[in-house]
Amino acid sequence: MTQGTRPMPVGAGRRDGVLVSGRSWRARGEVLLAAVAAAFTLLQLLLVRPSMGLGWDEIVYVSQVGGDAPAAFFSAPRARGVPLLVWPVASWSSSTILLRVYLAVLSGLALYLVLRVWRGLFPARVLAGAGVFFATLWVTLFYGPQAMPNLWVAFGALLCVGCFLRARADRFDRWALWGVLAGALLMAWMRPTDAVWVTLPLLVLAAVARHWRLGAALVTGLVAGGIQWVIEAYVSYGGLHERLNEASRIQGGLGWNLAVDDQLRSLVGRALCRPCDVPTPGPAVYAWWLVLPLLAAYALAIAVRAGRAARTVVPLACATTVAFPYLFLIGYAAPRFLLPAYALLALPVADALLHLATRPNGRLRPVVAAVVALASAGHLVMQYIVLDRTVDRTTAARVDWARSAAELNRLGVRAPCLLTGAEAIPVAYYTGCDSGAISGNNANTTTAEILRTARTIPVGALSVPGHQAPRYAQDWELHRLHGLEVHIAPAPNAGGAG
């Protein structure tokens, strides 16, 4: 698609190499995308248990707007997009099931809407294939119903990049400009730094082409979405520079760190690989990950040869820039970090697979199509296996937190109360307590403040069996919980904290 020409009309497509215009193509395309989005929602509800308790990071976000427990410490790298996302449910209900269903439905709707943006840029079959590929990754399904930011950055990236391409091709498409702004805003709300990495190639292209309105839409979206994060930096962290430095420290110090191998090992289902000292999984687990760049390169070659390079080059460039810091600048891994890159890669990859499996006239190449179908089936099976194991392991850990909370309540640690030490944030949330730490990434109090608090409300110091309790709590009464130990301060009416 060349500069200054209008994109293929919405509601038009190619069938057997011939441009087809009319309601029939639009109807088939809409049904395909709607079916993919509905299946995405349904699979989340079936495979990721709605009753699965909230995780550590989810608790931090949900507690900012929920009223069941005090708000957990909000560290420097975090942004307020997820609390805003869950506010319609979490502000009045403590039901985890309701929250999971709400997020599953919302993420399915978001997938449908962002894929629609790409109509006219890729055929409907490519869009549906991209949706299937992205929506069936275990990491996409796992985080779809969770209160986490990365999937929503991915949706924002698809919206922003797709609308950028439409606006670049048709300078009169005002809706595309608004889509660029909305996509950039969504990403910056969720993770401001990711938003910058995604939009970096777009900003360069807009400047080179002197498309000032497009550049202004990008910058406006980034500023509108990130302004709260910047204001909070000055209010709570001493300034923007200080917040960025603190965020870097929490992430292990940003600098040259080869994390490609860590990301590969985390594909076995490790939500957070820090340190990533797990064995490298078998090739069946990570084969798809190594094939991705090969398919992306093939898609690029196809697009260049067909004279439609922009619609493939731009998402590939944005996928590369957003993946770069998580592959080369941090010393640990989490599969969810690469969700925006997977979303942007999905379109070129689906295009490449379709090109491999079909002739120029649109008919299947039987042998190649069979190989692609067989490989895809094996890929789906492995994604399901990893997802099932990850859900089981995660659910068990969160059940232990809930059981520890019930035991603490039985021991008299009830709101208002304070928990410190190992896993204090999640256990405190389930217990109804505030959480505190005197060191580490979530440090928000001091020993003196903890001892002073123990004179008025119940206080417990959590530790892992075999590890010493904090010095200030070693004389407190010891109790064993589910995988944890707790030293409980003397009751306030029994002589204070000593």
Per-residue pLDDT band at 333 (split at 50, 70, 90): very high
Q: Identify the domain boundary among 255, 272, 299.
A: 255
Cβ atoms 252, 322 nearer than 8 A: no
Query: Both tokens of residue 202?
Result: 């777009």
Return the structure tokens found at 204: 């360069």
- Mean pLDDT of the 217-241 span: 96
Let me know if residue 382 belongs to a domain.
no
Give the Cβ contact number of residue 361 at 10 Å: 9
Residue 23's pLDDT is 62
pLDDT digits (tens, 9 = 90+) for 162-195: 999 999 998 888 999 999 999 999 999 999 999 9
As a whole number of angstroms, the distance between CA 43 and CA 171 comes to 39
**Which phi-psi region, left, alpha or beta, contains residue 166 (left: φ > 0; alpha: ψ -120 to 50)?**
alpha
Q: What's the pLDDT score for residue 345?
A: 98
Does residue 498 have a pLDDT over 60? no
At residue 116 the predicted structure's pLDDT band, cuts being 50, 70 and 90, is very high
**Residue range(s) defining the domain that contains residue 25:** 12-255
Domain boundary among 255, 287, 308: 255
* Model confidence at 497: pLDDT above 70: no
Give the whole-angstrom CA distance, residue 52 versus residue 49: 5
Residue 268 clears pLDDT 60, i.e. is over it: yes
Looking at every residue in the chain, the average pLDDT score rounds to: 91
> Measured between alpha carbons, how far is 18 from 75 in angstroms, rounded to an integer?
55
Q: What is d(CA 317, CA 319) in angstroms, rounded to the nearest whole number?
A: 5
User: What's the rounded mean pLDDT across residues 376-395?
Assistant: 96
Whether the per-residue pLDDT at 414 is higher than 60: the answer is: yes
pLDDT the model gives residue 216: 96
**372 domain residue, yes or no:** no
For position 25, what pLDDT does the model report? 57
**pLDDT mean over 288-313:** 94
Structural domain count of the chain = 2
Is residue 304 domain-resident? no
Q: Which helix (H) or strand (E) element contains residue 158?
A: helix 150-169
Q: Can you list the pairs that 70-73 forms with residues at least 24 positions away whose Cβ atoms lie under 8 Å? A: 70/428, 70/433, 70/434, 70/435, 72/425, 72/428, 72/429, 72/435, 72/442, 73/425, 73/435, 73/436, 73/437, 73/442, 73/444
| Residues in a beta bridge with 21 | 12
What pLDDT shows up at residue 12?
Answer: 46
Instruction: Flag whether 348 is in a domain.
Output: no
Give the integer Cα–Cα distance in Å for 379 and 385. Answer: 10
Last residue of a domain, one of 206, 229, 255: 255
The answer on pLDDT for 10 being more than 60 is no
Instruction: Tell me, yes or no, whether 293 lies in a domain.
Output: no
**Mean pLDDT value across residues 320-331:** 95
| pLDDT of residue 35 exceeding 50 | yes
- Give percent above pLDDT 70 in the chain: 94
What gap in Å lies between CA 85 and CA 356, rounded to an integer? 40
> What does the alpha-carbon distance between residue 492 and residue 53 come to, in Å, rounded to a whole number?
32
Extended beta strands in 203-356, E state: none
The answer to whether residue 462 scores a pLDDT higher than 70 is yes
- The answer as to whether 387 is a domain residue is no
Helix axes of 150-169 and 81-90: crossing angle, nearest 10 degrees: 110
More confident position, 271 or 339: 339
Reply yes or no on whether the pLDDT at 213 is more than 90: yes
Q: What is the pLDDT of residue 16?
A: 37
15 confidence band (pLDDT: 50, 70, 90): very low
> Above pLDDT 90, what percent of the chain?
82
Instruction: Report how far residue 475's alpha carbon sits from residue 182's, in angstroms, rounded to the nearest whole number.
Output: 55
Nearest alpha-carbon partner for 272 in 193, 216, 331: 331
- Please report whether residue 383 resides in a domain: no
Q: Does residue 88 have a cis bond before it (omega within 30 degrees)?
A: no
Q: Which residues of 431-449 are buried (b: 16+ CB within 10 A; e: fewer)?
A: bbbbbbbbeeebeebeeee
Q: Categorize the per-residue pLDDT at 275 as very low, low, confident or very high, splitting at 50, 70 and 90.
A: confident
The tokens of 332 are what?
Answer: 């640990």
- pTM comes to 0.92
Question: 3-state class of 331 per DSSP?
Answer: coil
Mean pLDDT value across residues 205-229: 96
Inside any domain, residue 478: yes
pLDDT of residue 28: 81
Q: State yes or no: pLDDT of 7 exceeds 80.
A: no
